[in-house]
Amino acid sequence: MSFQDIFKSSFLENIASVSLLDMALSMVLAFAIGMFIFLIYKKTFAGVMYSSSFGVTLVALTMISTLVILAVTSNIVLSLGMVGALSIVRFRTAIKEPLDIAFLFWSIAAGIVLAAGMIPLAVFGSVIIGVILLVFANQKSHANPYIVVLRCTNHESEAAAIAFLSAQAQRCVVKSKTVQADEVEINAEVRMRSDNTDFVNAIAQMDGVRSVVLVSYNGDYMG
């Protein structure tokens, strides 16, 4: 081995390891599948605030996964180095919606399968997953949950308001109760029989009731 062989670089030898046709086809299909995942996410989103940046992240994840797997499958040595490099990556962003985790794994899995050359599996698998998510994620409950924040002046007005609320709602459960010197605050979960909210006006007009607030309830109660 000569002095020049020590500093000889094999960088140029890896240029033709992946053909231009494979790269172009994989990235175009990855973009198409990523856009499909993004559209399914947009149609099935049921959270509080929609984040368009998360949808763009799904498209980018699909393409990045395809790019990484294309490089890994073309070079065994590179695959070992890639495993070591990715093992030190840590993600600190909290996922608030459980369904968002499924979309993240879907994007990564689609990119991996696509770069491995299993194009029919990536396409038809994504279509099946998208249809299932559209069917199940868009199902709405017949009894929508709400939170009623009730402020009363004394125990008598509180009891009368709760009794009236229980009679009007399909289900009424007290979640928290705060008692002060001249005020009683009640947080109750209610499931309404219909979309009619006129009972809130009736409770607000009762003697001893200071205010009534009806807010949508996503199922995560913080006391």
Q: pLDDT digits over 107-144, tens only?
A: 989 988 888 888 899 999 999 999 998 888 766 555 56
Do both 101 and 202 map to the same domain? no
The DSSP result for 69-111, as a single string, is HHHHHH-HHHHHHHHHHHTT--------SHHHHHHHHHHHHHH
- Residue that finishes a domain, picked among 137, 158, 176: 137
Do both 133 and 149 map to the same domain? no
> Would the pLDDT of 83 be above 60?
no
In whole angstroms, what is the distance from residue 27 CA to residue 204 CA? 59
Q: What number is the average pLDDT over the span 39-55?
A: 79
Do both 27 and 110 map to the same domain? yes
Domain membership flag for residue 195? yes
Domain of 154, CATH number, reads 3.30.70.260
Do both 99 and 150 map to the same domain? no
Looking at the structure of the chain, the number of domains it has is: 2
0.95 surpassed by pTM: no
DSSP 8-state assignment for residue 122: H
Which amino acid does the sequence have at 199?
Answer: F
User: Quick one: pLDDT at residue 181?
Assistant: 80
Q: Which domain holds residue 23?
A: 3-137
Do both 18 and 71 map to the same domain? yes
Per the prediction, the chain carries an average pLDDT of 78
Do both 114 and 25 map to the same domain? yes
Is residue 128 within 8 Å of residue 113, measured between CB atoms?
no
Do both 122 and 179 map to the same domain? no
Q: Edge-to-edge, what's the strand order for the sheet holding 184-191? A: 171-179, 184-191, 145-152, 209-216
- Residue that finishes a domain, picked among 115, 137, 159: 137
Nearest to 65 by CA among 33, 92, 101: 33
Nearest to 146 by CA among 99, 208, 197: 197
In this prediction, what percent of the chain has a pLDDT beyond 90? Answer: 13
Do both 29 and 129 map to the same domain? yes
Domain membership flag for residue 223? no
